[in-house]
Structure 1
Amino acid sequence: MPKGRQKVPHSDAPLGPRPTCLCLELAGLFLLLPWVMGLVGAGGPGAQGLEGLSWAVRVDSPEGEREEQSLEQRADALAQAAGLVNAGRIGELQGHYLLVQPAGHRQAPQVEAVRQQVEAVLARHEAVSWHSEQRLLKRTKRSVHFNDPKYPQQWHLNNRRSPGRDINVTGVWERNVTGQGVTVVVVDDGVEHTIQDIAPNYSPEGSYDLNSNDPDPMPHPDVENGNHHGTRCAGEIAAVPNNSFCAVGVAYGSRIAGIRVLDGPLTDSMEAVAFNKHYQINDIYSCSWGPDDDGKTVDGPHQLGKAALQHGVIAGRQGFGSIFVVASGNGGQHNDNCNYDGYANSIYTVTIGAVDEEGRMPFYAEECASMLAVTFSGGDKMLRSIVTTDWDLQKGTGCTEGHTGTSAAAPLAAGMIALMLQVRPCLTWRDVQHIIVFTATQYEDRRADWITNEAGFSHSHQHGFGLLNAWRLVNAAKIWTSVPYLASYVSPVLKENKAIPLSARPLEVLWNVSRMDLEMSGLKTLEHVAVTVSITHPRRGSLELKLFCPSGMMSLIGTPRSLDSDPNGFNDWTFSTVRCWGERAKGTYRLVVRDVGY
């Protein structure tokens, strides 16, 4: 399997305390409520008390007197005795008052004498139970500053040129959410783990080299000096900050491992081993690769690879399930579609596409009904690409400004998921998918076909459910209630044995899912809807397939492709869609197949 994909060159609400790790098997929706900070308003002493000497005092109330009137009067009398002015009660603290120097006396040269005089009065006065001179406190904003020379160019992390057009991660870092305790493994052509940006976070125990069959995933030189792809992806995820070198990773507190598998012949069995390698150590598998993005290939994991993905979500990560993040593909200029990619179609993966720094779909990006979400990457030559760690034997710089494609988007998503798992380690693989669906933000793009489904989720074939937002993901992870167990329903095999006419009269196949069917399976609402087809046709690229859920929501699961002239059609190929997420499962499903006449 070639490395087709790597070759194509604000905070919404405050984070709360980390919750205990309770995963309840309960159904139902959740509501994200922003926490409201209390602000000091009018009606109390403010900064004016800091222009001269000032004291906070606690005044006791004499027994038998009206409390508020007595306290206020005693504070006034106390201030007069000390040569000060009562500036009023301090906030909502009953009995606490701020006494300040009169405005005309604030420039008096005998500051120390005044201080001693006031202290003497307050110390012996019968109404004072506590007093403290108010002095300026030094406080700094908990912002993040890095000395990594390329960090200012990492617009996808902190876009100062266009605020808001980034992954909204800096506020998460300020609260010490950096991916600590989470291990991400890059399944690729190797990881140069001795480089400064990688070495401190490198996880040898999660790594392996399947090409050379040894524990070290160090990339090997080749004639094209091309085996730097995995290192670039690893840097996006976990590059170490404040080492005066290159850049910063999204989850720079996480551990990073490498599985070298793409630098040599690849078999189904090797792929299966890679997907489950060290799966009790590695939490997230970042896979920026797949079948050729040439507009005519239909391929994906074979029998063993599919079984390994399923085994990973069942047994990986102590039973919570391995998280598999896959890049949607770079075949946009060939009119390719990620529904012809079996990794993107799998219900066990998180399929991630790309938008450029302006939020638009880049020329290389593919679209499909199985797209879960998008995040940032490079665009055309006039737009910035992703800055990350590099392994380059010729330049020897250890840094690049030119990482792009959906290969660069998928590791950013993997890093954001690592942030989620730090605050909530017990999220299941399906919890992660649900949180992405709930929190992804719709992004304006004239090419996007946003449609809101019956459950209220907006999806487009170009952007999935929207743009990933680290702040929203982490906040949702903290309060998320785990979704119920996975339930599925498989319909009987339908055999039509009918010809597919040209576009004027398409072939329609309908099947009904009854209440009894659902009760037997335990299925209530939809997540992924998958259709497996075998179609004989003299020119596969002429076919268009649309799937309609009972709500009427349409998914273009198979697009015509002008370059695909394969005469064999589809043989047991599974298309999937996420566009009906959250909708009712009961009702009639309709598959419409037509020949567009290429």
Structure 2
Amino acid sequence: MEVVVRAMSPKRLFWHLARISLLIFCFVRSSTSIEHDSICNEEDGSCPEPIHTVIRLARRDDELARRIAAEHGMEVRGKPFLDSHYFLHDTSKRSRRRKREVISKLKDHPAVEWADEQRPRRRVKRDFIHSDVRRGERDPVQSVAEFTTPREIPILPWRDPLYKEQWYLVGGAVGGFDMNVRQAWLLGYAGRNVSISILDDGIQKDHIDLAINYDPLASTDINDHDDDPTPQDNGDNKHGTRCAGEVAAVAGNDYCGVGVAFHSNIGGVRMLDGPVSDSVEAASLSLNQDHIDIYSASWGPEDDGKTFDGPGPLAREAFYRGIKQGRHGKGNIFVWASGNGGSRQDSCSADGYTTSVYTLSISSATFDNRRPWYLEECPSSIATTYSSANMNQPAIVTVDVPHGCTRSHTGTSASAPLAAGIIALALEANPNLTWRDMQHVVLRTANPTPLLNNAGWSINGVGRHISNKFGYGLMDAGALVKLARTWVTVPEQHMCTYEYKLEKPSPRPLTGNFRMNFSLEVGGCESGTPVLYLEHVQVLATIRFGKRGDLKLTLFSPRGTTSVLLPPRPQDYNANGFHKWPFLSVQMWGEDPRGTWTLMVESVSVNKNIGGTFHDWSLLLYGTADPAQPTDPRHPPGSPASGSPSQTLLGRATERITSQSEPHPDTISFGDLRSAPDCHPECIGCSESRPWPVCRHVSREP
């Protein structure tokens, strides 16, 4: 066994990734295991029909793009995204064979760097609620006043009629708890000069409770390629408008309730009201990244307990550009709903959006400070806001279409916009907060106290409460803005990777019900770009198993923190497993990484004949050489610690390996892969619709 260690600065890392993207991307697609479940094989007819084509030019040139499109019987629709990517649509119906010929010609065009057909991906709104669970004893539109006893608020007597029914703002949760938003308001913060965009099915921009705060520069229509985000009036498209109202509903206008950041600028992207492709997501995530501060998304892959899926290469590039270049270099804030698949024992660890280093994954808690039945567990959730429970408990008050109000906004869909509004208060308090600063201040100020009666809490290696259900606890707006005001920008982020190499047999056979552990010795990457104070921790694992849902993965840090990276998912009968899937934990934040890290892989299978193979795992450590704040304590010098599980727990010996400082090219994770100028476009183009061997240049131009 050996481990290879690599550490590099962010700038050097970017160009390093660019040089090797072709090799890694093609290798990933060549495996029988899958990186995510939306990849299809056109040869066996499993792929849905393409909905449009995307081309990339060397630089933005709208006239050239229109000319190329016309030459190939297409037209450009909408605006370019990611600088020089264009949506192309056929002007007439043609056969599948003819479409393939046209795509081939586009790829051969000297001005086209990359071209690809875009296929629809299954994306669902996270508002409510599978039909098989707890359908109501009560009408969900009923007033919540009978369930709460809101305290009188003499200092903030908003006259909006539903304000006192916003129990999560007025101390109306059981025990008198709320998210302490009133304290932030009393300190003078209401989201001024902060722009939030709701990525969803559109927003009703002329709603009486939104119109004053509407921001056209944070809005567009990707579905119909125009600038108007107004949702289609068919009764279904109210989700985005409801989310927008949670953030920015006007205060004191005698209508509905009050938004958390009622002086913020609110926009919306209409992108879920039609087929959703990788390019649709990328165009949404990359809209006006220097103008928009916060993107709020309450959707994701199917929450069915059997799907592994996440952003495609274009969306991943949009995330990366957002954190690197957005907000004039401070980085965009991406807020994501953690998922509603709890009734089907789903886990947000199987969602590549919530497991991205670049997003803040937000969970939900109920009126009585419990886990809602739809909650998904994962160690990537950073914090929690209030939301709905079953039908006889109150939900979230917000605006509704057309020109109405509702008391029944639900699910983690409602939690993410509340978090976005609270984050807007912090950005008003300190506009210089970077995307990493925001993650630091959110987790440091989250309040676990209201939620500690739930099972599953533990203490991490720096003394913070952590939970796979609730992250670091309930968001506290007052504490957040107070910390934001004095926060000093964190030191430069480094990344270090340790890769576990199996001795023979490789891959390692897996059969039936088993438990195995694989350990790495970490020295903190002390040469060049040390990581001594952790932020994000990723595990990239490749495992094939006859029933993927029987697998459980647990990571043990040197400081004794235990993160269940993947719980069993009984609905997941996939027989392929996963290839370098990036499991993410934020639960070791602030810890010293030096010492023994152990990955425990086990099966809960009752079928002794089921089997598979363990191939590899890598540990990616993100963090800093120095404490996040000048006043933070420094880790003491000394020998590395060992936080690996005991022999009794494992029932077998721990496999030990010694780290070596050898550079290795494979530093790409699912959340970080992006196309770059010298990454060959034709292989990236094969990622969605074609098997990798047909990528030209794959062997001649690595």
Q: TM-score, normalised by structure 1?
A: 0.75
Q: Secondary structure at the match of 1:344?
A: coil
Aligned to 1:434: 440
Alignment pair present for 1:5 and 2:13? no
Gaps of 5+ in 1: 10-140
Query: CA separation in 1, counterparts of 2:166 and 2:328?
Result: 35
1:175-574 equivalence runs, <5 A: 175-222=187-234, 225-392=235-402, 398-442=404-448, 443-492=450-499, 494-495=501-502, 496-503=506-513, 505-515=514-524, 517-574=525-582
Q: Deviation of residue 304 (structure 1)?
A: 1.7
User: Is this contact kept in 1: 2:500–2:520, CA < 8 A?
Assistant: no
* 1:587 alignment partner AA: G
* 1:590 alignment partner AA: T
* 1:404 alignment partner AA: T
Query: CA separation in 2, counterparts of 1:402 and 1:595?
Result: 40
CA deviations 1:102-141 (Å, max 9, x no partner) are xxxxxxxxxxxxxxxxxxxxxxxxxxxxxxxxxxxxxxx9
- More off after superposition, 517-526 vs 206-215: 517-526
CA deviations 1:163-218 (Å, max 9, x no partner) are 64211111221232100010011000000010100100000012111001111111
User: Is this contact kept in 2: 1:448–1:461, CA < 8 A?
Assistant: no
Aligned to 2:119: none
Aligned to 1:61: none
Query: CA separation in 2, counterparts of 1:532 and 1:219?
Result: 39
* 1:426 alignment partner AA: N
Query: CA separation in 2, counterparts of 1:385 and 1:142?
Result: 24
Query: CA separation in 2, counterparts of 1:266 and 1:403?
Result: 23
Q: Deviation of residue 4 (structure 1)?
A: 4.0
Query: CA separation in 1, counterparts of 2:423 and 2:173?
Result: 26
CA deviations 1:306-344 (Å, max 9, x no partner) are 221111111101111000000000011000111011111
Q: Secondary structure at the match of 2:381?
A: coil
Aligned to 1:586: 594
Query: CA separation in 2, counterparts of 1:249 and 1:414?
Result: 11
Q: Deviation of residue 266 (structure 1)?
A: 1.0
Q: Secondary structure at the match of 1:309?
A: helix
Aligned to 1:72: none
Q: Secondary structure at the match of 1:412?
A: helix
Q: Deviation of residue 446 (structure 1)?
A: 3.9
Q: Deviation of residue 142 (structure 1)?
A: 8.3
Query: CA separation in 2, counterparts of 1:527 and 1:453?
Result: 13
* 2:424 alignment partner AA: A
Query: CA separation in 2, counterparts of 1:206 and 1:493?
Result: 44
Gaps of 5+ in 2: 1-121, 131-152, 607-702
Q: Deviation of residue 144 (structure 1)?
A: 1.5
Q: Deviation of residue 448 (structure 1)?
A: 2.9
Query: CA separation in 2, counterparts of 1:430 and 1:520?
Result: 21
- Runs of 4+ off more than 4 Å: 160-163
Structure richer in strand, relative to its length? 2
User: Is this contact kept in 2: 1:4–1:293, CA < 8 A?
Assistant: no
User: Is this contact kept in 1: 2:451–2:474, CA < 8 A?
Assistant: no
What is the aligned counterpart of 2:168 among 156, 160, 169? 156
Q: Deviation of residue 352 (structure 1)?
A: 0.3
1:101-140 equivalence runs, <5 A: none
User: Is this contact kept in 2: 1:149–1:244, CA < 8 A?
Assistant: yes
Q: Higher relative contact order by CA 8 Å / sep ≥ 6: 1 or 2?
A: 2
Aligned to 2:88: none
CA pair 545-306 structure 1, distance change in 2 beyond 3 A: same
* 1:441 alignment partner AA: N
CA pair 254-354 structure 1, distance change in 2 beyond 3 A: same
Identity in percent: 42
User: Is this contact kept in 2: 1:184–1:257, CA < 8 A?
Assistant: yes
Q: Secondary structure at the match of 1:372?
A: strand
User: Is this contact kept in 1: 2:548–2:574, CA < 8 A?
Assistant: yes
CA deviations 1:441-496 (Å, max 9, x no partner) are 11334433111111111101111100101100010101111111111111236344
User: Is this contact kept in 2: 1:142–1:174, CA < 8 A?
Assistant: no
User: Is this contact kept in 1: 2:542–2:578, CA < 8 A?
Assistant: yes
- More off after superposition, 177-186 vs 478-487: 478-487
CA pair 339-377 structure 1, distance change in 2 beyond 3 A: same
CA deviations 1:40-92 (Å, max 9, x no partner) are xxxxxxxxxxxxxxxxxxxxxxxxxxxxxxxxxxxxxxxxxxxxxxxxxxxxx
CA deviations 1:10-39 (Å, max 9, x no partner) are xxxxxxxxxxxxxxxxxxxxxxxxxxxxxx
- More off after superposition, 305-314 vs 196-205: 305-314
Query: CA separation in 2, counterparts of 1:163 and 1:546?
Result: 34
Q: Deviation of residue 242 (structure 1)?
A: 1.4
* 1:416 alignment partner AA: I
Q: Secondary structure at the match of 1:431?
A: helix
* 1:6 alignment partner AA: D
Q: CA RMSD in A?
A: 1.6
